[in-house]
Amino acid sequence: MAKTKPIYTIIDVETTGRGNKITEISIFKYDGKNVVDEFTSLVNPEALIPDYITALTGIDNAMVANAPTFSEISEQVLSITENAIFVAHNVNFDYNVIRNEFKALDINFTRRKLCTVRLSRTLFPGFRSYSLGKLCHSLHIDLVDRHRARGDAEATVTLFEKILAHEQSNLAITSFMKKTSKESVLPPHLESQVFHNIPNAPGIYYFKNKKGKIIYVGKAINLKKRVLGHFYNKSEKELNLCRETADIDFELSGSDLIARLMEDAAIKHHFPIYNQAAKRTPKPYAIFSYEDRGGVIHLAFNTLKATPNPLQIFHSIRDCRVYLEQLCEQFELCPKYCHLQESVWICSHYKITNCKGICKGEESLVSYNERVQLAMEYITNSNQNIVLKEKGRHAQEEAFILIKNGTYLGYGFVDVSEQVLNTHELEPFLISQKDTMDVRGILRKVLMQKTSSIQEKTISN
């Protein structure tokens, strides 16, 4: 039986930019030799088209006012793409935009995909840019009506003809179409080998654009798995991030904790555009103590600016409350006098039930205040010289995090053959870092939880 030749639909969409609602779509059905069908239409996005999009595409709100909505053309799009391979220049963008439009209609849109950017990088190596405009110029392809769906789609048809005519096209397309292949999800401008070189190990990774600028920093216990997760994520932010990604670099950490510290430092150093949330400076809060008219010592929290003699500093109210809850449970303190419950005569905390009754008059003031003093000493003693030991980046290495006088100094890696007896001998291996509110939050949670993967050691001077 003769093998059925594949049918391709070569597609381009124009969108509103933010929100990525379709404003124009063009689909050429191609049998490998000829265009056998075409569907092109303006689309009413049912959303405003920003001025910068109009400047780029020439499509404005008036042009699409009387155009059909995507719902009204959905059957035509389904019909022309049925049983065909979805082809586009940067296929993940066009494919996911269309799939999201169908998703809004409760229709599952699934097609096999080919990316002409990735195929071109494989079959026509060496060009400085693989954007449609510059690639067409390099390959002497006429491109009329740039940034209009039909013009771009028609040029992509010609590009795809050149791809099919290449002597290695069958091998490249077969490789890309394999179910186990990651080619269809990789960013269009990212070389396959760059992704394959990323290890399945803890560390941080850097997404870089064509100019080599870092645009995103992340951390992971499994670098390759986490990086791949970005490519499967269909959110608008992730799609835009992947469109800009041309290279990925990484640094091994040996452990999740050091990866978190490395990530925080890298974000604050590079200020990547796609790490906006992580760049916000949190408002600091602090725990302090005071004695009321009845002689009861309270532990309370407020903004750092309004806190007299802070005992411990945090970067959120939630962290203050979590820390105070732990102190209450550990030292049998009263939630009312730790300001975890306000405007109550006696405590009735849903979680903390070991109060000895100071709020009911069932415990002496002296006894209760003694335990508060112990809790305050505990807080003070937590600000000491500490080494946190972590796994190294390989079997012959150990990692450490150094805290001195309550200040985070950084982390480092030491060969297991080295004999280290005190903190001074760690200093040559130390990678110095800044002590920030975010770092304190990361380390405090570890010290409070005392997770089994961390060995704590108080260093004597």
CATH of domain 8-177: 3.30.420.10
The residue length of the chain stands at 461
CA 159 vs CA 62, 88, 190: distances in Å = 32, 10, 19
Instruction: For residue 28, give the nearest of 44, 12, 47, 52 by alpha carbon.
Output: 12
pTM above 0.75, yes or no: no
235: tokens are: 């959110």
pLDDT at 128: 87
Q: 261 burial class (0-12, 13-18, 19+ CB within 10 angstroms)? A: buried
Name residue 230's amino acid.
H
Q: What DSSP line would sit under 57-84, residue for residue?
A: H---HHHHTTSPBHHHHHHHHHHHHTTS
User: For 92-121, b where at least 16 C-beta lie within 10 A, e where not — what string?
Assistant: bbbbbbbbbbbeeeeeebebebbbbbbbbb
For residue 451, the one-letter residue type is T
Task: Locate the DSSP E strands across 267-421.
Answer: 285-291, 297-303, 312-314, 386-391, 397-404, 407-415
Q: What angle do CA 125, 131, 137 make, to 5 degrees?
A: 75
- Asked whether the beta carbons of 253 and 202 are under 8 A apart, the reply is yes
Two structure tokens written together for 220 = 């992971």
The C-alpha angle with vertex 96 and arms to 92 and 99, in degrees rounded to 5, equals: 145
- In 125-235, where does DSSP find H-type helix? 132-138, 149-165, 169-177, 192-196, 223-232
DSSP characters for 19-44? T--EEEEEEEEE-SSSEEEEEEEE-B
Q: What share of the chain is helix, strand, coil (3-state, %, to 5)?
A: 40, 20, 40
The pLDDT of residue 277 is 61
pLDDT attached to residue 458:
36
Q: Which of 320, 319, 304, 315 is nearest to 281 (CA)?
A: 315
Q: What are phi and psi of 413, to 5 degrees?
A: -130, 135
CA angle 92-96-97, nearest 5°? 120
Each of the 461 residues of the chain gets a pLDDT tens digit; together they read: 456 789 999 999 999 988 899 999 999 999 999 999 999 999 999 999 999 999 999 999 999 999 999 999 999 999 999 999 999 999 999 999 999 999 999 999 999 999 999 999 999 999 988 999 999 999 999 999 889 999 999 999 999 999 999 999 999 998 888 866 777 788 888 888 899 999 999 999 999 999 999 999 999 999 999 999 998 887 888 888 998 999 999 999 999 999 999 999 999 999 999 997 655 566 788 999 999 999 999 999 999 889 888 888 887 888 889 889 989 998 999 999 999 998 899 998 888 999 999 999 999 999 999 999 999 988 877 657 788 899 999 999 999 998 887 788 999 999 988 877 677 888 889 999 988 778 877 887 677 654 323 333 433 33
Write down the architecture of domain 192-278 according to CATH.
Answer: 3-Layer(aba) Sandwich (3.40)
Q: Any idea where the domains of the chain sit in the sequence?
A: 8-177, 192-278, 285-381, 386-458
Distance separating the N- and C-terminal Cα atoms of the chain: 83
Cα(285)–Cα(317) distance, rounded to whole angstroms? 7
3-state secondary structure of 208: strand
Encoded tokens for 51: 């001025």
Distance between CA atoms of 193 and 93, rounded to whole angstroms?
22
Distance (Å) of CA 16 to CA 68, 92, 270, 407 = 15, 17, 30, 49
Q: How far is CA 53 from CA 17, 99, 153, 182, 184, in A?
A: 7, 21, 18, 31, 27
- Provide the phi-psi class of 258: left if phi over 0, else alpha when psi is between -120 and 50, else beta: alpha
For residue 308, give every residue at least 6 positions away whose Cβ sits within 8 Å of its Cβ, in sequence order, or none. Answer: 288, 290
